[in-house]
Amino acid sequence: MNNPRYRNDRKDGVDPVLRARARRRALQAIYAWQVSGGNTQQVIAQFAHEQTHEIADLDYFEDLVRGVLQHVDELDEKLTPYLDRTVDEVDPIERAVLRIAAYELLHRIDVPYRVVINEAIETAKRFGAEHGHTYVNGVLDRAAVEWRAAEAKR
């Protein structure tokens, strides 16, 4: 693409704009799954075609959706100590944001924890309740200190 907004000069080949779009689309897919269920392939298929139109990182989108759905019980268990209510009582948007971020923090060590938290906050601001992003921030800040202790010390 010739649009400078889409230029990617990073040495690791990761385009942060495309990743952010993949996270937003993954949020929509996870939210839809939380509301109506379905298997992983159905959820991915429902949203993947829109990924290509939005110009997002389709591989990352699929990894997030597959990862969250495959590890949802583990993610919920790991998040529980940082919540002030049950996972099911968390607003569905914030719950989906937290699950995606927890997956990234626990299973995508290649993504810096500060990036994960920032992206989760921005996504919650865009799609969540008025103060939902502050809740997401508080939960993830505490979780990251333990889950990514070595990285957080730097």
- How confident is the model at residue 85, as a pLDDT? 97
- How confident is the model at residue 51, as a pLDDT? 53
Question: Is 118 or 5 the better-scoring residue by pLDDT?
Answer: 118
Is the pLDDT at 53 greater than 70? The verdict is no
- How confident is the model at residue 9, as a pLDDT? 47
* Residue 30 burial (C-beta neighbours within 10 Å; 0-12, 13-18, 19+): buried
Domain ranges in the chain are: 14-153
DSSP secondary structure, the chain, as one string: ---GGG----TT---HHHHHHHHHHHHHHHHHHHHH---HHHHHHHHHHHHHHHT--HHHHHHHHHHHHHHHHHHHHHHGGG-SS-GGGS-HHHHHHHHHHHHHHHH-TTS-HHHHHHHHHHHHHHHS-TTHHHHHHHHHHHHHHHHTHHHHH-
CATH of region 14-153, choose from 3.30.2030.30, 1.10.940.10, 3.90.1200.10, 3.40.50.10320:
1.10.940.10
Please state the rounded mean pLDDT for residues 103-109.
Answer: 97
State how far the Cα of 92 lies from the Cα of 132, in Å rounded to an integer.
11
C-alpha separations of 90 from 17, 28, 82, 102, 112 in Å: 28, 16, 12, 15, 25
- How confident is the model at residue 42, as a pLDDT? 79
Is the pLDDT at 39 greater than 80? The verdict is no
Quick one: what percent of the chain has pLDDT higher than 70? 87
| Top-confidence range, 11-15, 25-29, 90-94 | 90-94
C-alpha separations of 99 from 9, 58, 68, 78 in Å: 30, 19, 6, 10
What mean pLDDT, rounded, does the chain reach?
A: 87
pLDDT tens, 130-141? 999 999 999 999
Q: Which of 41-50, 76-85, 123-132 has the lowest mean pLDDT?
A: 41-50
- How confident is the model at residue 91, as a pLDDT? 96
State how far the Cα of 130 lies from the Cα of 102, in Å rounded to an integer.
21
Is the pLDDT at 10 greater than 80? The verdict is no
| pLDDT band at 11; cut points 50, 70, 90 | low
State how far the Cα of 116 lies from the Cα of 109, in Å rounded to an integer.
10
